[in-house]
Each structure stands twice: as C-alpha cells, then as structure tokens.
Amino acid sequence: MRFTKLSLVLLILLALVVPASYAQENENEDQGAGLTIGFSQIGSESAWRTSFTEAVIAEAAERGINLLFSDAQQSQENQIAAIRAWLAQGDVDAIILAPVIESGWDSVLQEAADMGVPVIIVDRNVNADESLYVTRVSSDFVHEGRLAAAWLVQETSGNCNVVELYGTVGSAAAEDRHTGFAEVIALFSNVQIIQSQTGNFVRTEGKQVMASILSSTDPSTICAVFAHNDDMAIGAIEAIKEAGLVPAVDILVVSVDAIPDIFDSMDAGETNATVELSPFMGGPAFDAVVAYLNGEELPKWIPVGGGLYTSRADYDADR
C-alpha cells in the first residue's frame, strides 16, 4: 500500500491522539469518573458546613463522579436511614459519611461492610471499630483546641476566665476541641472555664447563650469567649455588643473554622483569632475511595491541616 504525504501525517496524528485520549480516560478513572458515591452530610448548621458541602459537590462534578447527596438535618437517624437506603438499592460503589455524633454507628457500618460497600468517614469521627471503615479524612480537633488555648494563654499572660461556647454535644468536633483546650489551660492555674454551654455550632444559638451568660454573670469577670466555631463566635459578638461591651477588647474572642465572615469581623476589630478548618476534604476522600477500590492499603487517618490566624492578611498570605 502506498502512503501519500497526507495519509502519513494523519497516521502520525492518530498515533499521538489515541494514546493521549486513552491516558485521559485512565486519568479520569483514577479520579473516580463513573463511580456512584453516597454522601451523608450532617446538615447546614454553619457557614463552614455549607462551604464543605459545596466543595464536595463541585469536586464530584469535576471528577465525573455521580454523587448521591443526603442532608440529614442534624439527625443521626436520618443518616442511618440514608445509608440503609443506598445499601438496599445496591447502587453505590462507596459511601462518604460526615457523622453528626460519635456513638451509635456500629450496626449500620457493619451492614455496609457485610455488603462490601466501603465507607470513608469525613470531618467528625465515629466511635466504632476501625475495621468497619476504610479511613477518616479530617483535621485534628484536639490540636485545634490546643492552638486556641495556646493563643489565649499567651495573649493574657496566663490570666483569664473563659466562657466556652460548646458545639454539638457528643460530636467529635466539640468534644475534642474541648479536650485540647482544657489540656493546655490546665497548665495555667489562673486560666479557667467559668461557663460552658452548647450553642450547637449555630450562630443564633451562640448569641442566645452568650446573652443569657452576660445577664447572669458580671461581664467584668469574663476575659474571653472560646467558641467551638466561628458562627457561634459571631453570635456571641452580637450579644457582647448589645450588652454595651466591646468584643475583642473587653472580652477576647477566639474560635475555629476561618470562614469569610470571621475575617470581616477581624477587620472590624471584633474578633481576635480563629483556627482554620479546611472545607476541602472531598478531594482526599474521593482519592481514598479510588485507592481502596484499586486494592491499595490506606492509613486509618488522612489528616487535613490548618493554622491559627489573627488577621486576614496572614490568612491570605498562606493561600
């Protein structure tokens, strides 16, 4: 067969294009393209949670993953029901679970394991046998509490009465942040938590709780608020202002998440510090699903880091 110049060029182009598209296909598969993954999300109690949901949905779309999203509206029962429905339908390759609280997961995780459906835990932890899930992608909540306490101790030279705005009781994010914070202040005899009440990670509840504490406690005896998330801190700041006090001056404010609103609040001089919690856990969670399905061994914890920030400029400089 005789090749014209043109057909030779076409053949060369074909040789270049075919492996390239094959490689592209492989790359997409490595990203999880074509997989169906159930994502059981806690709800939308905070701005951080909403950013996290949006980031997971966007990441799935970019990778060509068919994401089945379920919003549990703060209910563990809803989360368990969603997981059971996915298992019954038999149409998920994996499940990503952001658990509202730590306890009560053994049965449903065992059901998933029995059906060979891998479960990846994201963000908050479960108090269950480690063999029942593949891995957990999360920050270190204890470390976040320690960082907040270390900043406060330094700022007050180890003299401070703290109001703690607790997150959801029984959730790893709240329990571990408390543990880390308490661990560090225990080293300083003049730093103590004088009030601790839950605001469930919700802005309006943070405000209500702080208003009630300010009405029952002499505000001059309160040195700082440690809020388990930025939303409750922002609620508390509103209550502090309504009580005629100056937030971040009369009462110091330190919290966790690093949402955009908290930097606006810092710009206004009303918040002192926040510990970053990255909302970008979808990528590592999807990578874990793909790696597991490819037969790879994974560590039981895939950490996601974050620092403490006292200004927007410092935060932006780290991006």
Tell me the per-residue interface mask from 60 to 99 with ligand AHR, x by CB under 6 A, - otherwise: ----------------------------------------
Burial of 55 (0-12, 13-18, 19+ CB in 10 A): middle
What are the percentages of helix, strand and coil residues in the chain, rounded to 5?
50, 20, 35
Pick the closer one to ligand AHR by CB: 122 or 223. 122
Pick the closer one to ligand AHR by CB: 59 or 276. 276
Return the residue of 49, 136, 146, 178 that touches ligand AHR, per CB under 6 A.
49
| Token pair belonging to 130 | 């480690």
Pick the closer one to ligand AHR by CB: 32 or 180. 180
Q: What is the DSSP letter of 13?
A: H
- Chain Cα centroid distance, residue 242: 30
Q: Cα-Cα-Cα-Cα dihedral of 282, 283, 284, 288, to 10°?
A: 90
In the bound complex, what is the minimum distance in angstroms from residue 41's beta carbon to ligand AHR? 11
Pick the closer one to ligand AHR by CB: 161 or 229. 229
Q: Does 48 contact ligand AHR by CB under 6 A?
A: yes
Q: Could you tell me which stretch among 3-11, 44-52, 127-135, 284-292 binds ligand AHR (CB under 6 A)?
A: 44-52
Interacting positions 1-40 with ligand AHR (CB under 6 A) = none
Q: Could you tell me which stretch among 6-14, 45-53, 55-63, 294-302 binds ligand AHR (CB under 6 A)?
A: 45-53
In the bound complex, what is the minimum distance in angstroms from residue 290's beta carbon to ligand AHR? 24
Task: Please work out the total of residues on this chain that contact ligand AHR, with binding judged by CB under 6 A.
Answer: 13
Q: Does 59 contact ligand AHR by CB under 6 A?
A: no
In the bound complex, what is the minimum distance in angstroms from residue 70's beta carbon to ligand AHR? 17
Q: Does 102 contact ligand AHR by CB under 6 A?
A: no
Sheet-wide strand order for 119-122: 66-71, 36-41, 94-97, 119-122, 135-138, 301-303
Q: Which of 130, 93, 134 is nearest to 115 (CA)?
A: 93
Interacting positions 150-169 with ligand AHR (CB under 6 A) = none
Furthest C-alpha separation in the chain: 97
Alpha helices by DSSP H, the chain = 5-31, 47-63, 76-89, 106-114, 141-155, 172-185, 203-216, 230-242, 260-267, 282-293, 312-317
Residues 6+ apart with CB under 8 A from 2: none
CB count within 10 Å of CB 278 equals: 17
Pick the closer one to ligand AHR by CB: 72 or 92. 72
In the bound complex, what is the minimum distance in angstroms from residue 226's beta carbon to ligand AHR? 13
In the bound complex, what is the minimum distance in angstroms from residue 128's beta carbon to ligand AHR? 17
CB 37 within 8 A of CB 94: yes
Return the residue of 181, 201, 226, 263 that touches ligand AHR, per CB under 6 A.
201
Interacting positions 251-290 with ligand AHR (CB under 6 A) = 256-257, 277
Residues 6+ apart with CB under 8 A from 233: 165, 206, 225, 227, 253, 254, 255, 262, 265, 271, 274
Return the residue of 40, 46, 76, 79 that touches ligand AHR, per CB under 6 A.
46
Which positions touch ligand AHR (CB under 6 A)?
A: 45-46, 48-49, 123-124, 173, 201, 229, 231, 256-257, 277
